[in-house]
């Protein structure tokens, strides 16, 4: 049963309740979900809050909007929800600590990667970005997609100590992306993130590691701000 959403973490509350309704089979795959007016009354929130939550869940392939027909639970939604919810959590480290570690490491990693990247490495990074943009357009985005770009930068940089650190933190870093994802799923924010990844790659190709490092620093700080606001 839908409960009125609390005023703190309103967005997260709405999306989590919808995910639970689907995973428990109360909203079945292929079925039309209640309209915005009905949901706004049930959650006791504005229609705009409901609209943003539905759009966000459509972005990651949980819901499907059909023009003139309404919004439906997507085929395979239950499986995707299980994937999202079963992924690792940050564990003993706080989200802030993990993001601070990234802020320290990744600008330097980009500089190193720029110095030693080959054409094959650039092609691999572009393939990752193409996959991300395609998933964005097709509305089946996964929070692991963006992480793979960052992880590949560590591999390209070739520093065994730093690669070992990120390997140890990999599950926690994926968990952070999941938490950010469900606290603030927004198509505009996600597209901006992907465009920044593309900008980083373009700067690396041009041999401008310093500028690429500035972009990734800004990129991580934006994620930290999203966490703070959530």
Dump pLDDT digits (tens) for 120-140.
999 999 999 999 999 988 888
81-97 mean pLDDT = 69
pLDDT band at residue 112 under the 50/70/90 scheme: very high
Q: Kindly state the average pLDDT of the residues 171-192.
A: 73
What angle do the packed helices 187-205 and 47-59 form, to 10 degrees?
40
Q: Are residues 80 and 121 in the same domain?
A: no
As a residue count, the chain comes to 230
**Helix axes 187-205 and 95-116, enclosed angle (nearest 10):** 30
The answer to whether the beta carbons of residues 11 and 184 sit under 8 Å apart is: yes
Number of C-beta neighbours around residue 168 at 10 A: 10
Whether pLDDT at 179 is above 80: no
The parent domain of residue 18 ranges over 10-84
Q: How far apart are CA 190 and CA 220, in angstroms?
A: 13
- Please report, to the nearest 10 degrees, the dihedral formed by the alpha carbons of residues 116, 121, 122, 127 taken in order: -160
Do 95 and 80 belong together in one domain? no
92 and 73 in one domain? no
d(CA 201, CA 212): 8
Of 24, 55, 84, the last residue of a domain is: 84
Q: Residue 157 is encoded by which pair of tokens?
A: 């940089």
Distance CA 70, CA 58 (A): 12
| Residue 3, in any domain of the structure | no
Residue 5 lies in a domain: no
Residue 192 tokens, joined? 């901006």
Same domain, 105 and 46: no
Cβ burial of 229 (10 Å; 0-12, 13-18, 19+) is exposed
Choose one of 59, 84, 109: the last residue of a domain: 84
Last residue of a domain, one of 52, 84, 116: 84
CA distances from 108 to 8, 103, 153, 166, 213 (A): 37, 9, 10, 13, 7
Confidence of residue 211 (pLDDT cuts 50, 70, 90): very high
- Specify the DSSP class assigned to residue 17: H
Looking up residue 186, the CATH number of its domain turns out to be: 1.20.120.530
- Indicate if 70 and 122 belong to the same structural domain: no
User: Phi/psi at 159 (nearest 5 deg)?
Assistant: -85, 115
Torsion, Cα of 165, 114, 135, 193 (10° steps): 80
Q: Tell me, what's the pLDDT at 222?
A: 84
Q: Quote the pTM value.
A: 0.77
Q: What is the pLDDT of residues 46-58, one digit of tens each?
A: 998 898 889 888 8
CATH no. for residue 50?
1.10.10.10
The confidence score (pLDDT) of residue 71 equals 94
CA distance 157 to 77: 37
């Amino acid at each position: 049963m839908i409960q009125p959403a609390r005023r703190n973490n309103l967005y997260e509350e709405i999306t989590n309740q919808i995910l639970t309704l689907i995973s428990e089979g109360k909203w079945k795959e292929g079925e039309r979900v209640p309209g915005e007016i009905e949901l706004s009354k049930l959650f006791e929130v504005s229609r705009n809050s409901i609209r943003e939550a539905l759009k966000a869940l459509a972005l990651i392939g949980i819901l499907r909007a059909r023009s003139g027909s309404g919004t439906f639970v997507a085929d395979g939604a239950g499986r995707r929800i299980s994937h999202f919810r079963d992924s690792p959590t940050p564990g003993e480290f706080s989200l802030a600590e993990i993001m601070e570690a990234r802020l320290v490491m990744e600008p330097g990693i980009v500089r190193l990667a720029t110095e030693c990247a080959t054409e094959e490495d650039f092609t691999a990074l572009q393939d990752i970005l193409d996959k991300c943009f395609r998933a964005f357009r097709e509305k089946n985005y996964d929070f692991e997609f963006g992480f793979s770009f960052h992880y590949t930068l560590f591999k390209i940089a070739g520093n065994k100590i730093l690669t070992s650190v990120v390997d140890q933190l990999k599950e926690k870093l994926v968990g952070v992306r999941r938490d950010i994802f469900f606290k603030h799923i927004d198509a505009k924010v996600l597209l901006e993130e992907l465009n920044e990844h593309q900008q980083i790659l373009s700067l690396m190709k041009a041999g401008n590691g310093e500028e690429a490092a500035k972009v990734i620093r800004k990129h991580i700080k934006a994620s930290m701000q999203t966490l703070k606001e959530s």
